[in-house]
Amino acid sequence: MDGKKQVVPEATLPESELTTRDEAYLGRTELDGSASLPPAPYSVDAAPNGEPPNAEPNGAAAPMELGVRERRQPARDLVIGDGPPSEIYSAFKCLRNQIIKRLQENGWTTVAITSPSRASGTTLTAINLAISIARDFSYTVLLVELDLVDPSFRQVLGFKQRQGIVDHLLRDVPIAEILLDPGIDRLVVIPAGSPVTNSSELLASPKMTRLLGELTLRYEHRIVLFDLPAVLAIDDAKAFSPFVDCALLVVEEGETRVNDVRRALDHLKSTKILGVVLNRSFDVENDGKIISG
C-alpha cells in the first residue's frame, strides 16, 4: 500500500498514444505543481432500523449476501460523505459512469484493477470505484482484495476481521465468514486475509477457479472488482488475468514510466483493457475521464 495521498483519477491515455509520446515519464512537464485536493469526508452509511443494509429504495432487498457486518473507521481518501459532493466524489462518479457504459456495451462483469508499478493508488482507486458503482441502484458490487502478499484492506477500511480469501483457500474457512458488509448499500467486500508468499499459485489454483465461478455467476446484476498487485512487481496480475473479462490499469502522472506501461500492457496482452486511468493528475480539467486504447 502506498503512503501517498490519492487525489482523483483525472484522465487517461489511450494505448496508441504511448507509442508516440516522447516524455520519459507520464506527465505534463510544463506543470510543476500538483492540484492536491482535500480529503473527502466520510461516514458509515448505516441502514435505517429494521431495514436490510442493502435494501433498495422501495424496501426490497438487493439479491446478495450480507456477510459479516462491521462498522469501520475508513481512510480519509474515500468518497463516502454526508456533506456536499466533493471533487473526489464527482471524479469517481464520472469514472463510474464511463466504466459502467463500457461494461454494458461488452457484456463484461469482472474487472481486474492493477498498475504497472507499485504506489500508483490502485487500492484506493478500486475501493472508491466500488463505492461509486454500488451507489448506482442497478448493480450490486463485490470487491475482492487479491494482493495476497501485502494486503491493506483492513488498514484502509478499518476492518477488525483478519480472515479472508487466503483462509478460505488454505483452511476451508466458509465463504460466509469472509464476506464483509462495510455498511454501504449493495457493496460486499472480501479481504485477502492472512498474507502468503505463494500468491500466484493460489490465484491460479482449481479451488480459486471454483470460488470465482460461485462469486461471479450467482447474481445477474453484479459487478466484481479485483484489486491486484502491480503487474511488474509480481506475477499475480498476469496469473489471474485469464479469469476476468477485462483489466483497468492505474498509472500515476509524473511517476509511472511510459516503458513500464508498455511492458505491463504486454504482460496483459491476452486480456481486454477497459482503460488506463491517470491518477494524481496535475490537470483538474478532465476529472474522471477515461479513454480506451
What would the pLDDT profile of 133-182 be if each residue is shown by its tens digit? 998 878 999 999 999 999 999 888 888 778 999 999 999 999 999 999 88
Q: Where in 182-271 does DSSP place strands (E)?
A: 187-190, 222-227, 246-252
User: CATH class for domain 10-28+39-44+63-279?
Assistant: alpha beta
More confident call, 58 vs 172: 172
Burial category of 108 from C-beta neighbours within 10 Å (exposed 0-12, middle 13-18, buried 19 and up): middle
Alpha-carbon distance of 265 to 189, in angstroms, equals 27
pLDDT for position 26: 38
Average pLDDT over the chain reads 74
pLDDT tier at 77 (50, 70, 90 boundaries)?
low
Q: Hey, where are the domains in the chain?
A: 10-28+39-44+63-279
More confident call, 18 vs 219: 219
The whole-model pTM stands at 0.74
Cell of 204: 491460479
